[in-house]
Amino acid sequence: MENQNCTILNDINTDEVPITNEEYETILNLQSEVLALTALDIDTQIILDKLCTMLEVLLPNAVSSLMIKNIQDGLLYVKAAPSVPTQGWDALNGLKPGPHSGSCGNAVHRGKPQFISNTFTDERGTEFIQTAEAFNLCSCWSMPVKDENNLSIGSIALSSFEHRSPARFHKKLLETASSIVSIILQNEANRQKIYNMAYTDTLLGLNNKLALQNELQKNNFNTLVFLDINNFSYVNTAYGFDTGDEILKEVAAILEELYPNALYRINADQFALRFEDKKDIKAMYLHIKTIFSQRLITLKDVKIKISFTYGGVYSNKDILKHAALSLKKAKENGRNRLHIFDETIDSSVKRKEFIFMNSCLYTAFETDTIMPYFQGIYNNTQKKITKYEALVRLKTKEGEILSPDKFLDVAKLSGLLPEITKIMIDKTFAFMAKNNYDFSINITEDDLTLVYLLKYLQEKEIQYKIAPSRVTLEILEGISANTQKNNIAQLKELKRHGYKLAIDDFGAEYSNFERVLALDIDFLKIDARYIKNIDTDKKSFEIVKAIVGFSKNMNIIIIAEFVHSKSVQKIVQELGIEFSQGYYFSEPKKNLLDSITLTK
């Protein structure tokens, strides 16, 4: 029986009507406008509602809806339908894809477009007639939405209050809309992946430091305990990072068993336990210490006992900073120690120093007095300085120039390292745009955690016309050794984009050649502790010689840091090290050295 409220349109030959140029332009404009919103990172729901509204404008007396299949139950649920009342959503939700479930259910079931001109008589809609009659949906055209594997995950539809068939324009319109929805949903999935990568430790599946920072920003009272594994760098050096990773998994499993839903991984060998109520930190310390003293971690031929150094705090402000200070204090007292932050004891001199330097940092941001100084890097083959490293400096309001050892620890505790990195990138790119020298910039683990580097660097490339091949990104050895797969993936992506990578201070922390190879490093900068006494200390000489031998076999270029004398430079050259950096050739200066050949 025909529904009395539906108008029957004489459109038998609508499919024969060609799409006009104006209609093509309309479709292209719709596509451009919606994708522009996606590029601006507008909320997905707002974009999908906007798309539906735009479709409705192009088919008067109709409503548009988007339904997505739920992975758990396989049923369809409304994702967007701004003109459909709540009762309509309720009627549509839970639709099972199948041969008789209307155009939307059929589109998903068959994976092909479905155009029903009469929803009351078409056999494809026998299970949908009650809903169609209740809401006067006389015809319905649906296009399947596909994922990256070309599998149907939903449908986008135009439902008319008139019996009608779609023209070629309407089919093309829905086809375009379906493609747009696929892009939008994939973009949303990618954002979720990025979020998970940013807030989850990829090796252990634990929440990471950034997740902890977010929780602590709520300023509620928390008990926070840092646990730093003693001598874990030696484990990585002796057994390799794969074995080290397996040991970390065992350690994390034990801690999670002891304190479920409280564990975070802070960095390579450091964990944190967070509780929203007050805990007896000393009792926890004794409990963990006892458990691990009785547990022998066994992996194939490796047997090892793990111990920690602990720092704890119970507070509602500056919790992360105070826990870090407590851990540092505990380490100063020796391994296996615990230090609990005490406001009256720990806030004296160090607190005053922190407040003073933190104030200096914010003043420097306001007055734009964070700046790069440049230290030349001497090419031992060409006998001249051929590249520069940009080193951060801070100018106080009194005019004093501070080196990074004075303020970077405070910047890290205050979460300001990424802002300093951005300033250094911007100012260094601006300065080096005036010459053709290659140059290097330091990046930190905090920069990688926030996942912004590639996009920001690309913006500055365009702004200052700097080729990525001129730029070397220096990473601390501890970052390269960190088993955060997301960090490594970012570094590899930066490398693919054309940037060179250097490991700074190699030998200072987690020396492991396996990690160097995994990152496809261009340069190794040997730590100053081995270079500065290489002319008098046989052990330093042998260590440097071993690093040079490995690097030459792997075609990795070596830079010797802290070359401060003629005798040190002589040995550096005899070992075949390609570059030298230090005060013997160049002190860090605001401007570059005169372009002259050096004969030292």
pLDDT of residue 16: 59
| Strand pairing class (471-476; 438-443) | parallel
Token output for 200? 């989850």
pLDDT of residue 489: 84
For residue 340, report the phi and psi dihedrals to the nearest 5 degrees.
-105, 130
Domain 207-347 CATH assignment equals 4.10.140.10: no
- Evaluate if residue 482 carries a pLDDT over 60: no
pLDDT tens string 65-77? 999 999 999 999 9
Q: Cβ(402)–Cβ(408) under 8 Å?
A: no
- Residue, of 557 and 546, whose pLDDT is higher: 557
Q: Where along the chain do its domains lie?
A: 7-196, 207-347, 352-581
Query: Which residues, in sequence order, are CB contacts of 595 under 8 Å at separation 6+?
Result: none
Reported for 549-555, long-range contacts at CB under 8 A and 24+ positions apart, including other chains, are 550/513, 551/524, 552/576, 554/513, 554/516, 554/517
Q: Cβ(133)–Cβ(3) under 8 Å?
A: yes
pLDDT of residue 308: 96
Name the nearest CA neighbour of 155 among 100, 99, 112: 112
Largest CA distance in the chain: 102
DSSP at 422 = H
Confidence of residue 54 (pLDDT cuts 50, 70, 90): very high
The pLDDT > 90 percentage for the chain reads: 61
Q: What is the mean pLDDT of residues 375-384?
A: 95
DSSP, collapsed to helix, strand or coil, labels residue 335 as coil
- Assigned CATH topology for domain 352-581: TIM Barrel (3.20.20)
Q: Average pLDDT over the chain, rounded to whole?
A: 88
CATH pick for 7-196 out of 3.60.15.10, 1.20.1260.10, 1.20.1250.20, 3.30.450.40: 3.30.450.40
> Following CA atoms 325, 327, 328, 334 in sequence, which dihedral angle do they give, to the nearest 10 degrees?
150
From CA 386, how far away is CA 574, in angstroms rounded? 20
pLDDT tens string 498-536? 999 999 888 755 455 666 777 789 999 998 888 999 999
- Evaluate if residue 78 carries a pLDDT over 60: yes
Confidence of residue 483 (pLDDT cuts 50, 70, 90): very low
For residue 597, report the phi and psi dihedrals to the nearest 5 degrees.
-80, 130
- Evaluate if residue 600 carries a pLDDT over 70: no
Q: What is the mean pLDDT of residues 316-322?
A: 88
Query: Which residues, in sequence order, are CB contacts of 225 under 8 Å at separation 6+?
Result: 272, 273, 279, 281, 284, 285, 310, 311, 312, 323
Name the nearest CA neighbour of 225 among 313, 159, 322: 313
Confidence of residue 597 (pLDDT cuts 50, 70, 90): very low
- Evaluate if residue 4 carries a pLDDT over 50: no
pLDDT of residue 239: 81
- Evaluate if residue 481 carries a pLDDT over 80: no
Other CB atoms within 10 Å distance of the CB of residue 281? 23
Query: Distances in Å between the alpha carbon of 597 and those of 377, 383, 569?
Result: 13, 7, 16
From CA 475, how far away is CA 442, in angstroms rounded? 6
Taking the alpha carbons at both ends of the chain, their separation in whole angstroms is: 100
Confidence of residue 8 (pLDDT cuts 50, 70, 90): low
Query: Distances in Å between the alpha carbon of 307 and those of 272, 304, 310, 488?
Result: 14, 10, 10, 28
- Evaluate if residue 125 carries a pLDDT over 50: yes
Query: Distances in Å between the alpha carbon of 367 and those of 127, 336, 394, 414?
Result: 70, 44, 11, 18
pLDDT tens string 85-110? 999 999 999 999 999 999 999 999 99
Tell me which H or E stretch contains 462: helix 453-464
pLDDT of residue 231: 86
Confidence of residue 187 (pLDDT cuts 50, 70, 90): confident
pLDDT tens string 418-448? 999 999 999 999 999 999 999 999 999 889 8
DSSP at 95 = B
DSSP-assigned letters across all residues of 57-76: HHSSSEEEEEEEE-TTT--E
Query: Which residues, in sequence order, are CB contacts of 325 under 8 Å at separation 6+?
Result: 311, 341, 346, 350
DSSP, collapsed to helix, strand or coil, labels residue 415 as coil
pLDDT of residue 24: 85
Q: What is the mean pLDDT of residues 357-379?
A: 94
pLDDT tens string 323-356? 998 999 899 888 899 999 876 556 555 667 788 8
Give the angle 589-594-600 at the CA atoms, nearest 5°.
90
